[in-house]
Chains A and B, each alone.
Chain A
Amino acid sequence: MSIAGESTNWEPKILAFLCNWCSYAGADLAGTSRIQYPPNVRVIRVPCSGRVNPLHIVSALRQGADGVLVSGCHPGDCHYLSGNLYARRRFALLQRYLTYLGIEPGRVQFSWVSASEGGRFAEVVTEVTEAVRALGPAKRLNVRAESIVAPMELS
């Protein structure tokens, strides 16, 4: 649970939207290659990075994600030809907008990782995890930050 200040062993909780054809496969390759990377990332597989709606990203922050990563194919390599190109414009604007409104830069990140780039995937996840760790638990937009319910105690 990412309730601010509730626990001293807080770990960043990062939601990663990975496109099925490139980034998810790249993540899979990182796994089969036994490359170590931080376990903080929860993966949601999508057909294409263009499928990711700004609603998903902001909703993730609202529901308590400390960070959000969206990763797709390199421009020019999209399995659906242009999905990631539409996504690129959408995400460029969204990231600038969230930063402008005061959401800490580093919480919402984007990458292009291909199916053969297991190592690159691990690098990206490590970079994003460390950036979010440095920022601390996400409170802005987090509906649970004002929650009055007690977190479930862990044994």
Chain B
Amino acid sequence: MLPDEIRATIGEWLATGEVDLFIGWEPGTVPLTATPAFVRRPDEVDRLIWDATCEHNLARFVRPYRDKTVGIMVKGCDARALIGLMQEGQLKRERLRIVGIGCDGVIDPRRVCERAGVESVEELDGAQLEGDVVVFGDLRIPVAEVLFAGCETCHQRDPQVYDLRMGPEHDETSLADRYAHVEAMAALSEDERWERFTSEIAKCNLCYACRNACPFCYCNVCFAEQTNPQWLTPTAHDPDVSFFQIIRTFHLAGRCVACGACTRACPQGVDLRLMLDKLCADVAELYDYVAGEDPEAKPPLTTYRQDDYNDFVL
């Protein structure tokens, strides 16, 4: 629920010109879906909502407006993305008016479909969120049981940067659970890991939704679309797909804030978290760094120490 006083303040920001644009969410046209809303006039703030369907990382939309002052709503993870973008010099804090949301997670419509016994989300016609329960016909499913997988192990649900704050406050959670799936993968044999990796990306059809949903994929010309040199041909054949996935995820090493937007945007259900969390785990282990915590910190691949991990060198 979007508190009235927050809604009113957003209206004031727009009325006084303190922000040129406010980015939030509004209800979608498909059951249990929200959609990004770009609001410019005070009378439009009634469109804005906040609930567990608001899954998009809106930080992804701010960069084109960086010479204006933009208001934005961010969950804990999205706020980490804003911090990361500030670290990389892409956004200025003073150009942002941030409504930070203490978040209990967003729902995964696919899990709701499974529980409801339907095949696809548009068959959940009439499904609603009532507080923290998904209601569909006679079914009442607690939101906590159909969360997006990444939300279940979120390491920081509270926004670390904001001008206004809403939503519950949480105790810090440990990072340990978050890497359980990475540890499980690492424990497999080499052939099993390759099998797991290739079967995941076999679902990929190179639509680039993951890249386009990510706040940190902002290169003017992505390597995947470079023609000089041309690194890959966009044929959705396996060697091209694996090349794209490996390099794109690696480009996020030390930057990925584990918001899950990529995994949720993927129309094919590729488990991108399995790859990205490995990079997050290694960055934490080798360089004692977690992305999106400190706007003044230097991302780990832009710095070095004389005594950095060296054992891997022959």
Contacts and interface: CB of A to CB of B under 8 A. Distances in A.
Contact of A86 (B191, B283, B301): B301
29 contacts: A55-B231, A58-B246, A59-B231, A75-B310, A82-B304, A85-B308, A86-B302, A88-B310, A89-B287, A89-B300, A89-B308, A92-B312, A93-B254, A94-B250, A95-B312, A96-B278, A97-B250, A97-B279, A100-B182, A101-B193, A102-B194, A103-B194, A109-B314, A112-B313, A141-B239, A141-B242, A142-B239, A143-B240, A145-B239
A51 B152 CA distance: 39
Interface residues of B, number: 46
Interface of B: 182, 185-186, 190-198, 223, 231-232, 237-240, 242-243, 246-247, 249-250, 253-254, 275, 278-279, 282-283, 286-287, 300-302, 304-306, 308-310, 312-314
B239 A59 contact: no
B181 to A, nearest CB: 12
Contacts of A127: 314
B313 A59 contact: no
A38 interface: no
A130 to B, nearest CB: 12
Contacts of A97: 246, 249-250, 253, 275, 278-279, 282
Nearest to B250: A54
In the complex, the 7 A-B pairs of residues with the closest C-beta atoms, listed nearest first = A102-B194, A85-B304, A143-B239, A102-B193, A111-B314, A101-B197, A110-B313
B299 to A, nearest CB: 10
Contacts of B287: 89
> At the interface, is chain B mostly helix, strand, loop or mixed?
helix
Given A85-B305, A93-B279, A111-B314, 7 more contacts: A54-B247, A58-B243, A88-B309, A89-B286, A97-B282, A101-B197, A142-B239
A20 B275 CA distance: 34
B243 A62 contact: yes
A50 to B, nearest CB: 10
Contact of A92 (B190, B239, B243, B286): B286
A8 to B, nearest CB: 24
Given A93-B253, A110-B312, A146 B243 contact: no
A88 B237 contact: no
Given A62-B243, A102-B195, A102-B197, A146 B286 contact: no
